[in-house]
Structures are given as structure tokens and as C-alpha cells.
Structure 1
């Protein structure tokens, strides 16, 4: 259990983080982690699904869950005076969900609709295709939502076996942030959650995973759309890598803000895209850098060329001093603004525990950002921004041949 008391807030957020996600599934289990997340809300021994929904609304709070490639998270956010009732409700879902067979069959249809929804959103879908392209057959590359075949074939006993194998208490972090009294909180958590231990690292019980290998190449999926949606990907860094802050700065300069090179060159100067940005994806043992852009079919090759030109320029000539200072300020501002709620503080606590085994203070993060030097930026840029392993994914009214010269 990890906690942060913030007495100036009137809310408190409790999160249960399980150190298992889509990358830990076998191909025959694709989508299990995400599906299980859904099923925890479908009734317990004492509450129906409708009663769960009514109860959280009656508390005036928010309860939800999400699945990533490495974690599954269940959380509740309420006013501080409702903390005990929220803990009891969340623990009921986590320990006493029934996984009723009838509810399971209904939820299959819900998840299948969610898969179709992603396929109908080209910006989401091209990024999902891109993960499969850049990481190949590595488990990190498979869809979090799973495949239609595995979802349709899923049975109650599959869910129970997966939970028994993956939801080991040593893989679970309970993170709590907001307004509470520490002594009272520890009593409540001990009452409602079994095996909650304060201050112990979960890193020793991390699942066995093999590092990903970023692959280059070209994948084009034709679809009748108004735009071509593009993703360009390169190798990044792991979430806990020593160069992660330099990589964040490079991403900010490349396409992570409205003053970034890509935004200014592609959108502001040439009007070739409404949406263009870059982002880092960091995992426990590797990562990627992705650039997304949406443009007209006839301009797709030109946009790819401009993106490659900016990546090459960053690698070969580095960054200007004022660019680096602006990136540092942008990183610090984004960090501080992102942590103004109990939910975001709760998330940071859990991620720190899972990635580092201990809490990383805001002061330490700010110091690390300030320590980024131009020579470190130049070195990391040379290591990450080589186009020899560039991976390109295109979705829309475009042929493979149109982008062949870049792949």
C-alpha cells in the first residue's frame, strides 16, 4: 500500500493496480485482462450490477477501471467523508465478484462492440495496427481488447484460472491519494483488503517478460476514409530508463507540443494536417516513439517526407539552447498541472511503486529535468532517431506503392 495525504483536497482516490496486462497473455488468451476488468462490475455475492452503479452514483463519486499492456487498474474517487463506503464497495468487487455465466455472455457482446468502435475510429485503429507492425509478434504488440475469436470462445473457467494465476497479492499495489487521516486509513484498508502491506516493493514479484525488439518496415491498410492516417515509429526507452527525461525533451521538441517542429512545419507553415503529434510509450523493459498525422491522400508521401526530415535533422544537428529550455519548462508545467487531482496523484504513486519500487518525489523529477544537458540530448538523439529501423503504418485511401520509398 502506498499513500499520499493531501489535506487541501476534498476528495480521495483509491486504486487497485494489478501488475498484469495484455502483454502477459498467451495468444489463446488475447483480451482476457481487459475482459476480466469488465466482469468485476457485473455483480458480487451481495450486489447486482445495477446496484453497484446506483451505489457509486449515490456516493456522488466515480468508479471505473482500465487495462494497459502491463497493468489492470480498478479505482474509485469520492468525497473524503465517503472513503469507508468507497473502500467497502471496491473491495466487494475485487474479492467477491461472481462472474455470472449469463452476464459473461452479455459482456462478450459489449467488448465486441468496443473492438468495432476502435476499428471505426481511424486515429485509434491506425495506432493499434502500428503497435502490431512495429513490435511484430511480441506480446506488447497485440491488441489490449483482444481478438474476436478469443472473446467469443472465452468461458467462465478461463476467467477464474487467469485470475488465480495472475492476481497474486504480491503483484498488487493499493494506491491512495487525497484527504484522509493515515492511522484511520490503515485500519480501514486492513479491514477491507487482504494482504495489504505498507512500504513493500512489488518489484520482486514482477511477471517474467522478454524485452521487445522494434522492427522497421511498411504496412498499409486500405480503407474508404476521407484522410490517410499515418504512424511513424522508432525505438524509445523503458519507463525507468536513466535517459527517459532526455527522451521526453526530444519528444517535446519533435512533436509533443504546439511549438514543436512537426506542428510548426507540417500544420502551421504548410497546412498539411489538422492533427500531428508525437508521443513516447515506455514499458518495463523497452519503449517506442510514435508520430501520428492525418492528411489528404495526395499529401501523405509529402507529410512522411517532412516527418523524416525533422527526425533526421534532430539526430544530425541536435537542438538549440532555447528549444531545450522551452521543452524543459513545458515538461515541468505539464507535470505540475497533471498532478492537481487526487486521481492523478494516485496514479503516480502506483506507477512509481511498480516501476521503481519506491516513490519518486516531484522535487526529484524537477531536478532531473533541470539536469538535462545539450550533450545528453545529442547522444540520445543519435541513439534513438536513426531511420534505418523506421516503421510506417498507413490507413485510408492509399496504396502501398505511394509510401514504398520510405519503407
Structure 2
């Protein structure tokens, strides 16, 4: 299932290509720059620049960028994460040259005009207010800030409206000149396109682009990502006793609850066992243990899920549920019971085999979403130089033992290692 082609241009840009017979091509730039790359006073800048990158280059204005692919029926989009920013397109094969040209132009030649900033900043502020009106989403950011307090990984990706309104053209340019560099980026492409053509087209685009080569090479300010490795799976509640709990009164008719702790980084040998255990407890299937305990047997929640995120040097594992305020304590007891079960008793051979089969099936179905698969293999190559290999992932899942599952549970799920955040 591998079948990738890779190449590195002279300017340091890495290219990863996966051929397919489909006539729709997915491609884009993924840049190793996100929320954790923001300096003090830049909170929200990565997401701000993602928006503003569409607002004008040396040769295209905002309307020309909008119409560049969409008038051909294509799709142009972007998003920002804690460790990366992605600009990508979906287009018919016959228009791929236009997509490559447009994407390269906006990523490496955007000018961030002040008159566009003055308009777009209010759009971003509306996005922030909309987000603040959704406690089921907001609690995830609040919880991550609770875990990574004082570190950029804990910052809200959107930032604060008051600060965003102070950002100017020179602030955006300062951020992108430090971060939007070819050597910090990957161009990914998935479709029925010649790899040789892709390489030549990108070489051509960069030769024509004064912006990319005018930018300083490397990291001119000597700024590195803040390292969080030393605090991997520690938190202030590890002295013993009950889980640290914070209650925030928001006047909601429903209580929103998160429970969790710091988890494993992407390279950690126990990451795959946690991946499997997380799916057993709170994965997307209706037979996940937390869904059975809280919803199916007791009718206490509409949604309960567990989530794991692995960053380059740390991670996060959490459970979320929403319920009536008077049911919070009962739900917490039921969650605790399920965590205790996996800590105290290893999975049976049958349960382990079934869990592996279920997870591998979910992965196989997810890979059928070609857009998401393209984004996934691009991100893997960007951060780790891995050519995404689903067969190897399946092998890693098959190697997980019941002992591994129990070890992870005992390492992460002890009461005094968990934090609890409640919105009500």
C-alpha cells in the first residue's frame, strides 16, 4: 500500500507523491509551524496568518485567489493545528497546474495587505465568538491549557479578539518569514499525475517566485520550538490523593466534563497500545465501553468519547461527555469504574482480538476518504519523514498484548494522575 515517490528540491522543500487512478487530485503545502511556534505577544498569529494568506500576493488579489480554483469546480482550503498549518486543494486532474501555481503563490508570496487585515480580523473575531458560544468545543481548549499551562501548546489556536485587532502587516510578515520556509514545508499530492511532472512544475514555480528565494533561509532568529519533553506524563496532582478538579460556571443548561492527563509523544513505544485502548474505551463505535456504560445502560449522555493526541514531544489523553448537571457525579463514578476495570484486569484473548479487528477495520475505512488520507500522509512525512504505511500500522496493532494495555492503563489512569474540568 506504500508506493510513494519522494524528492527534495534545492531550496529544501520536500515532495511526497502517491499515484492513483482517480481523476480528482488532492495536493497542498503543509508547514511545520503552528500555535506552539508563536512567541509571546503572537498568540493566535498562526491561525491569523492562515486566514490572511488568501488575501493577496504580488500577482493576485483576494478575489483572484478565491476564483482561481473554485470557478473550475475545485476546492481551496486551509487549517491550523498546534504544530502545523495546511493549505490544500482538490481539483480535477486537467487543472492541476493551476492548483500548484496558486498554492505556491499564496504560501510563499502573500503580502498580507493592511486593508485586507482590517476586514478579515473581524471575521476571525466572529469565529472566536462563535467558538466561545459552543462549550462542547471550548472545553477542549480550556482543558489543554489546563494540562500545558504556561506552554504554547496550551494556547487557544484562535487567540483573543483584543490582541488580534492589534496585528499589522509587519507582524504577519515577521511570523511567515520565520516559519513559512521551503525547508520547513512539504508539498503532498495524491492523484493520477506524473511525479516527474510534479517535480518540474514545482521547480518552475519557485524559479518564477521572487518571494520564496527572497525569504531568509533556515531560522534567522535562532528561535526553536519550546520543548515540553521534561514534563511528559506529570502534573500537579501527582502528589497523591484525588484528581485535580476545576469547575467553571458558564450558565449552561448542560454540564460539559473533561477528564484526562498528558499522554505519549509520537515516538513513544506505548503510543500504539494507548491508541488501541483509547478506541476500546471511547472510540467512535457504539460498542465503546464508555458509551455502553453512560448512554446505553444508563441513558445519562448523548455523547461520550475519549481522545488521544500525540505531539512531537508529548501528548494528551482525555474523555469528554455532556450530561444534566445533577448527573455529573454519577457519570464520573461510571467513568472511574471503566478505567478501574482496564487497570485491574487484563483483557481476555477474545476481547483483545476483537478490539484489534475493530480498530483495523476503522482505519481501513478511514483510508477510503482520499482527501483525509492525503492530509495524513503529508503530515507524517512533514514531521517524521515517514511514508505512511497502513500495513505496518496493522502489524504494530497486532503486536499489542493484554499486558501492554494494562500497563498503559496503570500509568495514565490512576486517580491522582487525572485532571477534571467541568463547565456548568
TM, length-normalised to structure 2: 0.87
Q: Aligned to 2:317, what secondary structure does the other structure show?
A: strand
Partners of 1:355 and 1:103 in 2: CA distance: 32
Between 273-282 and 145-154, the greater mean CA deviation after superposition: 145-154
Per the alignment, residue 161 of structure 1 pairs with: 174
Per the alignment, residue 209 of structure 1 pairs with: 226
Per the alignment, residue 138 of structure 1 pairs with: 151
| Aligned with residue 269 of structure 1, among 297, 317, 321 | 297
Provide closer, same or farther for how the CA distance between residues 92 and 168 of structure 1 changes in structure 2, counting only shifts above 3 A: closer
Matching of residues 176-325 of structure 1 within 5 Å? 176-193=189-206, 207-211=224-228, 213=231, 214-215=234-235, 216=237, 217-256=244-283, 257-325=285-353
1:106 has 2:123 as partner? no
Per the alignment, residue 173 of structure 1 pairs with: 186
Q: Deviations over 1:273-326 (max 9, x none)?
A: 000010101101111111000000100111112112211221122323333222
Q: Is the 8 A contact 1:249 1:324 kept in 2?
A: no
Q: Is the 8 A contact 1:19 1:206 kept in 2?
A: no
1:97 has 2:110 as partner? yes
Partners of 1:166 and 1:24 in 2: CA distance: 8
Q: Cα distance, 1:240 vs. partner?
A: 2.8
Partners of 2:20 and 2:263 in 1: CA distance: 38
Q: Cα distance, 1:169 vs. partner?
A: 2.2
Partners of 2:66 and 2:246 in 1: CA distance: 42
Partners of 1:43 and 1:241 in 2: CA distance: 42
RMSD: 2.0
Would you say how many aligned residue pairs link Structure 1 and Structure 2? 389
Q: Cα distance, 1:210 vs. partner?
A: 1.1
Q: Is the 8 A contact 2:34 2:82 kept in 1?
A: yes
Q: Which has the higher contact order (CA 8 A, sep 6+)?
A: 1
Matching of residues 15-54 of structure 1 within 5 Å? 15-54=28-67
1:8 has 2:21 as partner? yes
Q: Is the 8 A contact 2:16 2:186 kept in 1?
A: no
Q: Aligned to 2:41, what secondary structure does the other structure show?
A: helix
Q: Is the 8 A contact 1:234 1:391 kept in 2?
A: yes
Provide closer, same or farther for how the CA distance between residues 258 and 27 of structure 1 changes in structure 2, counting only shifts above 3 A: farther
Q: Is the 8 A contact 1:240 1:356 kept in 2?
A: no
Between 316-325 and 69-78, the greater mean CA deviation after superposition: 316-325
1:150 has 2:163 as partner? yes
TM, length-normalised to structure 1: 0.91
Structure 2 gaps of 5+ residues are 1-13, 213-217, 238-243
Per the alignment, residue 396 of structure 2 pairs with: 368
| Aligned with residue 133 of structure 2, among 74, 98, 120 | 120
Between 34-43 and 145-154, the greater mean CA deviation after superposition: 145-154
Q: Aligned to 2:302, what secondary structure does the other structure show?
A: coil
Provide closer, same or farther for how the CA distance between residues 248 and 90 of structure 1 changes in structure 2, counting only shifts above 3 A: same
Structure 1 gaps of 5+ residues are 197-201, 397-407
Partners of 2:15 and 2:365 in 1: CA distance: 22
Between 280-289 and 134-143, the greater mean CA deviation after superposition: 134-143
Partners of 1:34 and 1:3 in 2: CA distance: 25
Per the alignment, residue 8 of structure 2 pairs with: none
Matching of residues 341-360 of structure 1 within 5 Å? 341-360=369-388
Per the alignment, residue 88 of structure 1 pairs with: 101
Q: Cα distance, 1:207 vs. partner?
A: 4.1
Q: Aligned to 1:28, what secondary structure does the other structure show?
A: coil
Matching of residues 70-85 of structure 1 within 5 Å? 70-85=83-98
Per the alignment, residue 3 of structure 2 pairs with: none
Q: Is the 8 A contact 1:171 1:206 kept in 2?
A: no
Matching of residues 329-348 of structure 1 within 5 Å? 329-348=357-376
Q: Cα distance, 1:249 vs. partner?
A: 0.7
Partners of 2:158 and 2:372 in 1: CA distance: 24
Q: Is the 8 A contact 2:301 2:321 kept in 1?
A: yes
Q: Is the 8 A contact 1:318 1:381 kept in 2?
A: no
Partners of 2:363 and 2:19 in 1: CA distance: 17
Per the alignment, residue 354 of structure 2 pairs with: 326
Q: Aligned to 1:377, what secondary structure does the other structure show?
A: helix
